[in-house]
Chain A
């Protein structure tokens, strides 16, 4: 009798374990085991769970390493003002007991769609207070500010503070709404590939192992052979991250069908993302608004054509989505390069201040405009009605401190 019970128990365990295992690892069915949809920024990974869960029995350390593996470079480039390493000093032990700032997950949780912030991630409203509750002692202007107002657009960012630190604000006090001379560099694209059009093999054929024989539609590697900077940027963005990690588009489509991404056409989620998705091979000129609209169909995108920006030109090229979202900048050698990592220039929106907005607008106007969701929704049709007082407070503090050496910081657009 006992033997029979043991046998039944073993068989039952194997059956249940097998069924669960089959559900966990069966292609296309992983999401049934997921605790919830992933953040919008991670949807490009589809159901490739091991992107973050790098091992079956790995803990938080492995997930933290995965966060840093993808986002570390961007944080360093943004001169992260709260890098985790600062908090590893033992003198911050009391702070870490309140908020463990060495772990991304302390503020940014996955699989919790009901808590997703408008920026596309989870974010507590009161995290600044954990360490800066007494800020009014140093800055009387901050007396009575609410605990959830610190990161309001135009005030402070936890990571990327490059357009918001005090000396930078001081340097830009009193700027007009519009600059008299724009600093927006025009594209150097000619509409053709100079010197290459007569040699088809440069793009369509190769003796490289990863590009054998004649290729009708050249892969990104062919473009990247000459445009490495642009390709690197693209692959670091949400547009190109699937390509970078070799994630099957079909897998991403399954996830896309089950999640809602504001402003993205549902049929766009499975679209192949590469250089030729937006650039036509034999007419590699600037990307048009229509190209972006093929995937982006939210209020901000739809409002562009009736917005003031749509009436402007840069050189001979009309403004487009790419004017602001794929900013151009001059290198130290004077070459104009287009940054293809749109994600590095998007949220929080103060990331755009130095790379784009200040080319044409003053800082005060820029911060006011970026702080108003309705203006963003209408693609900046109209003027800001609210005012961010950051620059006013800086001016008052500067005046109270007496004459000082003028700030020397230079912009690096």
Chain B
């Protein structure tokens, strides 16, 4: 199964170096890329940015580090507030959706702090359960939403810092309070319209 890019400008994204394209030299039409290779590449960039923001910014400059910023759900109301890693991730997803409709992504969980981030579609439910039950594995499938069919990939979102664990365990809206570092806390869902 091959995916043809609707927006060639997308190739300018940082993931370009990780994407294997064929037949794109000499002005020929790109032959396309397998959806799984595409979503795997996107996920690599997302995971890298998310981990780096958590460790290099939030953990280093936050209350557990230099103490010069305050990661908070309502960061916009604070002069030294900064978005939580999950909010930064969502902000990226929203901005990317403004730039291209070639893919969408979101962060979801079977134990969401915000109930709007619980799985909604059958594929999301299957995927999140699969990655929770099979640590280290990803989930791939196809689903139809509205009148469009999507390639849907679900990747594990793992607690990489103490801040992830304590925030979720302490939050009054969290349905689960026994997370440990290394646990699968949720999943990154990436959709590509076919």
Q: CB within 8 Å of B: which residues of A?
A: 79, 83, 85-86, 88-91, 93-94, 96-97, 138, 162, 165, 167-168, 397-398, 401-402, 404-405, 408-412
Contacts and interface: CB of A to CB of B under 8 A. Distances in A.
Contacts of A88: 97, 101, 104
B106 A89 contact: yes
Contact of A410 (B77, B115, B191): B77
A138 B115 contact: yes
Nearest to B77: A409
Given A90-B148, A168-B74, A410-B79, 20 more contacts: A83-B94, A85-B97, A85-B98, A89-B93, A89-B97, A89-B104, A90-B150, A90-B193, A91-B120, A91-B124, A93-B146, A94-B120, A96-B146, A397-B172, A398-B172, A401-B172, A402-B172, A405-B170, A409-B77, A410-B77
Nearest to B105: A89
A404 B145 contact: no
A409 B72 contact: yes
Contacts of B78: 408-410
Contacts of A79: 76
B134 interface: no
Contacts of B106: 89, 91
B121 interface: yes
A90 B191 contact: yes
Contacts of A165: 74
B145 A91 contact: yes
Contacts, number: 63
Interface in B122-167: 124, 145-146, 148, 150
Given A89-B104, A90-B148, A397-B172, A408 B97 contact: no
Interface centre among A86, A90, A94, A97 (most CB of B within 10 A): A90
Given A89-B104, A89-B106, A90-B146, A167 B170 contact: no
Nearest to B73: A167
A85 B99 CA distance: 11
A79 B81 CA distance: 15
5 nearest A-B pairs in the assembled complex, by CB-CB distance: A401-B172, A93-B146, A93-B145, A409-B77, A409-B74
A94 B74 CA distance: 29
- Chain B interface helix/strand/loop/mixed: mixed
B168 interface: no
B172 A404 contact: yes
B172 A91 contact: no
A168 to B, nearest CB: 7
A409 B81 CA distance: 9
B172 A85 contact: no
A185 B93 CA distance: 40
Interface centre among B72, B77, B94, B145 (most CB of A within 10 A): B77
Contact of A167 (B74, B98, B115, B148): B74
A85 B98 CA distance: 7
Nearest to B150: A90
A410 B78 CA distance: 5
A171 to B, nearest CB: 9
Nearest to A83: B94
A405 B166 CA distance: 11
Interface in B100-115: 101, 104, 106, 115
A222 to B, nearest CB: 35
A351 to B, nearest CB: 15
A61 to B, nearest CB: 14
Contacts of A398: 172
Interface centre among A83, A162, A410 (most CB of B within 10 A): A410
Contacts of B98: 85
Contacts of A162: 77
B75 to A, nearest CB: 9
A408 B146 contact: no
Interface string B164-194: 0000001010000000000000000101010
27 contacts: A79-B76, A85-B97, A85-B98, A88-B104, A89-B97, A89-B106, A90-B145, A90-B193, A91-B106, A91-B121, A91-B189, A91-B191, A93-B148, A94-B146, A96-B146, A138-B115, A168-B77, A397-B172, A398-B172, A402-B172, A404-B170, A408-B72, A409-B72, A409-B77, A409-B81, A410-B78, A410-B79
A94 B121 CA distance: 10
A90 B104 contact: yes
A262 B62 CA distance: 52
